[in-house]
Structure 1
Amino acid sequence: MCVSLLWLSGCAAVPGTTTAVVAGRTVEYVQAGQGAPVVVFENGLGATLDWWAKVWPEAVAETRALVYHRAGYGRSDASPQPREGAQVVHELRSLLRARQLPPPYVLVGHSLGGLYMQLYARQYPAEVAALVLVDSTHPDQVKGAGNPDHWPAWLKAVFKATTSDTAQQELAALDATGEQVSQLPVDPSIPVWVLSALRATGAPSALAEDAERKRAAIAQLYPGSTQVWVDSGHGIPLEKPEAVVSAVREAVRAARDARDVQKVQ
């Protein structure tokens, strides 16, 4: 998560959006492409699936893919359940099962979506073929200087005025989500790509410095991961979609290579 997210917006649409009722709740999603593994995209805080519009065509040319709106975004019904990561992961898994999309998946998450995908990979490593973190939120993002209690009053006001109730609930639950991630081990067999923004801006200096330290530390959470510093702001999927496409292709290739090895064995 980065406060610069508040001033960025998608400029294109992902075609083919539809809805399905999953566990009694309407969920908006797009599913396209052919083949395996399935690539699953997770949005950042306050973001819509259109953030992936520049990445989507290349992803579905490579394999099957799914992008969706979490509860309370787009045409997806809000949920009365807490907006902690464990609930988000549960709802995503329910959608994937309902769409009959088999694991293992290549999970791709931007910003807060990256934290949710980290939790998915740690909770259910057997269901994950690879992980692509796009300027992901760190599990400790809202500790220390990143704590929203330390934000200047103007930033708190802007966030409250420009984000939905759901986004505010997700931010309030972010520390709990981070704890859920930190309490689970990393599976070293899952390849991880970490895309990090070189030009993330939009925050006061103390908050920005704290965010930079945590951005650099993401790769340290995953020994052996591939970290790519991208000449972009926080909105990498919009500003430098080719970086995301490249990482997704590499992740899909790694997943297929691992599958082929298992077949031989």
Structure 2
Amino acid sequence: MRKIIQVITASECRVLYGGLFLILLVVAGCGASLPSKDTHWVGVQRLEYVIQGTGNPTVVFNSNTDMDSWVKVLPEVARFTSVFADNRPGHGSSKPAMGQNTGKRVVERLHRLLEETGQHPPYVLVGHSYSGLFTNLFARTYPDEVVGVVFVDASHPDQQDWWHTHRPLESILVNEMAKATYNWEFFDFERVAEDIKAAGPFPDIPVIVITAGKKWMLDTQAWRDQWMRFQQDLVLLSPQGQQIIATESGHFIQDQQPEVVINAIRAIVEHVRKKVSDEKSEKEFVWYF
């Protein structure tokens, strides 16, 4: 019995310290900050956002918490097109959310924020980790407005169920620690996953799934194998899906290999522009013919 207790205690400690380190890493970011931030009220929710660059399509960065997590990527993307990012409620100057938020509520709020700050589709969405769920749901909710998606080591709707089944102790510990650290919006994983499954189909648009090539502290081989299967599921959301392995990165690819994320976004932006140009040329040809 003593050995069993010791094993459980060691596991709890590994997850506790590992999860705490991860949360501190997310909060701390890379220390730099995006300039020229502004705030806007969407109903009773004050949100902080930033707009940079010019041109179409507009690249919308979905943040887990703080838009400054994109500080190595967003300014570079703004050199070749318009970009938009916001801070999630409770982070930066965004007012803490009131009560639990569903995924549906989150994407509707983002859509209103985009409209009310003067943004117009088409949009290329970029989502990292948990925010990949909102990126997934936004594309399903507004398929006529989204022309491409970049998933950056993004979450899968079924991953929480896998953890509950295969690593229940770690799942409970990490979730309880997360709830004590962030507002409920951030870790109400099941509600967001339910909204994705209830939403319409994912559109037939270019999708690039960037997957971390290095393990992180809570990885086991079983979880790593399952994570790769989840990443492949994201690729298969669209017939135009493809995967890139960021071989030198852990979970925070936008910080460790920002050029991989920038190049993926650039590829989709250029694809969208070429498609628009080709369609315009075809119409002009038919007109003059």
- Give the TM-score band, short-chain normalised: 0.7 to 0.9
The unaligned stretches of length 5 or more in structure 2 are 1-17, 284-289
Q: Which residue of 2 aligns with 1:243?
A: 260
The structure carrying a bigger helix percent of its residues is: 2
Runs of 4+ in 1 over 3 A off after TM superposition: 2-5, 146-149, 153-161, 206-213
1:117 Cα offset (Å): 0.7
Cα distance in 2, alignment partners of residues 239 and 128 from structure 1: 27
Task: Give 1:160 shift.
Answer: 4.7
Mapped pair 1:219 → 2:219: no
Residue 207 (structure 1) shift: 4.7
Shift of 1:89: 0.4
* Residues 81, 170 of structure 1: alpha-carbon distance in 2 compared, 3 angstrom cutoff: same
Q: Is the 8 A contact 2:179 2:187 kept in 1?
A: no
Q: Distance in 1 between matches of 2:117 and 2:179?
A: 35
Separation in structure 2 between the aligned mates of residue 25 and residue 237 of structure 1, nearest angstrom: 28
How many residues align? The count is 257
Mean Cα deviation higher: 238-247 or 7-16: 7-16
For 1:79 and 1:198, the matched residues in 2 are separated by 34
Candidates 114, 125, 130, aligned match of 1:107: 125
Could you tell me how far 1:255 is from its partner in structure 2? 1.6
- State the alpha-carbon separation in 2 of the partners of residues 182 and 156 from structure 1: 22
TM-score (norm 2): 0.81
Contact 2:128/2:153, CA 8 A, preserved across alignment: yes
| SS of the residue 1:120 aligns to | helix
Matched, 1:159 2:178: yes
Q: What residue number does 1:193 align with?
A: 208
| Separation of aligned partners in 2, 1:263 and 1:146 | 51
Output the aligned Cα RMSD.
2.4
Matched, 1:233 2:253: no
Distance 1:207 1:227, change over 3 A: closer
Higher relative contact order (CA 8 A, sep 6+): 1
Provide, for residues 190-232 of structure 1, a one-character-per-residue CA deviation record: whole Å limited to 9, x for no partner.
1111101111412153555543432343213333302101121
Given that 1:84 and 1:170 are in contact with CA atoms closer than 8 Å, whether structure 2 keeps it comes out as no
**Number of the residue aligned with 2:41:** 21
Comparing 201-210 with 228-237, greater Cα deviation is found at 201-210
Q: Take 2:176 and 2:41, find their aligned partners in 1: how far apart are those partners?
A: 35
With normalisation by structure 1, the TM-score equals: 0.87
Q: Distance in 1 between matches of 2:145 and 2:234?
A: 22
User: Following TM superposition, by how much is the alpha carbon of 1:85 offset from its aligned partner in structure 2, in angstroms?
Assistant: 1.2
The alpha-carbon deviation at position 37 of structure 1 amounts to 0.9
5+ residue gaps, structure 1 = none
Q: Distance in 2 between matches of 1:73 and 1:233?
A: 24
Say if 2:280 is the partner of 1:263: yes
